[in-house]
Amino acid sequence: MRPHVSPGGLLLAAAAILSVVPQPAAAQSGWLPTAWFSGAEADPKAMYPLAEKDGPWLILATTFRGETARDDARRLVQELRGSHRLQAYTHEKAFDYSGAQPGMGLNPDGTPKRMRYANAGQVVEVAVVVGDFASCEDQRGQKTLQKIKTLQPKALAAATAKTRLVSDFLQANSQHVRDAQAAKPPMHAAIMIPNPLLPADYFSRQMVDEFVLDMNAGVAHGLLDCPGRHTIRVATFTGAGTFNADEDPTSRTGGLVDMNRFVDALKGSGWKNPQVRGVQTESRLVEAADKAHRLTEALRRAGWQAWEFHDRDSSMVCVGSIDQLAVPGADGRPVPHPEVTRIATALGPDQAGGQIMPRSFDGIMLDLQPKPIDVPRRPAGRR
């Protein structure tokens, strides 16, 4: 005779079973990365498109082309993110080979020759990249690169030979290459590349050295923390001397400042202690740095996004965080970004009294003419 179990008993039994079955860890809140927990699964439909902020340097894992390129790239990204916990992205680019192209030489009538591609049409390629790395020599990046070179993703085993460009070439032409070459992992040709979405001048922007980086360490609103590419310099304070990292502080003369004492004062008090203003009075550099800090705080209190920056021979105060200085106007021509205009107008010279006078905050005068500048970058690998 079959034993009878009430519905209530079934529910209790199910609850008891669930209570002892290991549950997948849910994504935790707090400072731990969500990728550390298995519950933080990747969206199966997401392509995770690459963005400019996803590291200045990336690893190009492989590239897909063809009708199923997007699906193949998406599957690989899902696997790299889910199974290998890598920050993988897709980057898509289209190529148009349908139009006529300039040829070599001239026609009999003297007109330039025009040519067409043998396989005319539009081609879409989807690259799978892994980030985010501060430089090409980033130790974490190099370690990840070696890991990617040895992976055997299931997504690549399922991809068709028509969509994989890099790794499948050797397998498709195995009769022309050595067996060892053809048997290599599918992503063994992975390389480090710069983020293709970064502006052309990104790597030519001013990069501060370790010495200047230490001078700006511990500053509450340091310009090195400004997220934008550009900012507006509104005040400059120069000193009588310069910092010299190699000079012996005990043998200094004139305006040379003891770097260690300057940095200790800057880090220790954040320039909040008025008594710090008396440190190293023999140099105007300390006075310049103090003015820059006080002006930054005054502008912040007035509602401005102010930043301070200290260099070997001067300190400056900037306002704003702007990604582009010009935008298209109504007629299509470039015009100054509205934020640039707002800052230059509000913090530029005061002409109310019929005279051109610089504005001041907390008794500290601004420059007569605000000037857009590039935000300096930290050394590679430093955060």
Domain boundaries, the chain: 42-194, 203-374
152-183 exposure pattern, b = at least 16 Cβ within 10 A, e = fewer: ebebbeebeeebbbbbbebeeeeeeeeeeeee
The strand ranges marked E within the chain are 57-65, 87-96, 101-106, 112-115, 122-133, 191-194, 230-238, 306-310, 314-322, 326-328, 334-336, 360-361, 364-365, 371-374
Which of the given ranges, 34-48, 109-123, 153-167, 341-355, has the highest pLDDT on average? 341-355
Confirm whether pTM is higher than 0.85. no
The answer to whether the Cα torsion of 342, 347, 353, 356 is positive or negative is negative
pLDDT for 54 beyond 70? yes
E-assigned strand segments in 239-305: none
**pLDDT value of position 274:** 41
Residue 212: pLDDT band (50, 70, 90) is confident
Question: What average pLDDT score do residues 345-372 get?
Answer: 89
What is the structure's pLDDT at 244?
44
Q: Which of the residue ranges 99-113, 163-177, 254-268 would you say has the lowest mean pLDDT? A: 254-268
Does pLDDT of 169 surpass 80? no
**Dist. CA 139–CA 143, nearest whole Å:** 6
Return d(Cα 250, Cα 221) in angstroms, integer: 32
Q: Which residues of 269-279 are buried (b: 16+ CB within 10 A; e: fewer)?
A: eebeeeebbeb
Ranges of beta strands (E only) in 249-323 are 306-310, 314-322
Q: What is the pLDDT of residue 138?
A: 85
User: Is the pLDDT assigned to residue 379 strictly greater than 90?
Assistant: no
pLDDT at residue number 381: 54
143 vs 98 pLDDT, higher one? 143
Structure confidence at residue 332 as a pLDDT band (50, 70, 90): confident
pLDDT digits (tens, 9 = 90+) for 4-17: 444 444 333 333 43
Q: Look at the block and give the residue holding tokens 């400056």.
A: 316
pLDDT in tens, 113-140: 888 777 666 778 999 999 888 888 888 9
Q: DSSP code of 350?
A: B
Rounded to whole angstroms, the Cα distance separating 373 from 376 reads 9
Q: Which pLDDT score, from 0 to 100, does residue 181 have? A: 52
pLDDT-based confidence at 191, cuts 50/70/90?
very high
pLDDT-derived band at 144 (thresholds 50, 70, 90) equals very high
Neighbours of 307 (CB within 10 A): 28
Instruction: Please write the tens of the pLDDT for every residue from 87-107.
Output: 999 999 887 777 777 878 888
Q: Please report the pLDDT score of residue 20 as a whole number.
A: 38
d(CA 264, CA 341): 38
How would residue 173 be classed by pLDDT, with cut points 50, 70 and 90?
low
pLDDT score at 14 = 38
With tokens 């993703």, the residue in question is 153
Residues 155/76, Cβ–Cβ less than 8 Å: yes
d(CA 34, CA 44): 17
* pLDDT, position 259: 52
What DSSP state is assigned to residue 304?
A: -
Q: Is the pLDDT of residue 34 over 80?
A: no
Question: CA-to-CA distance for 75 and 82, rounded, in angstroms?
Answer: 10
Distance CA 377, CA 206 (A): 6
Average pLDDT over residues 286-312: 93
Nearest to 237 by CA among 286, 299, 276: 286
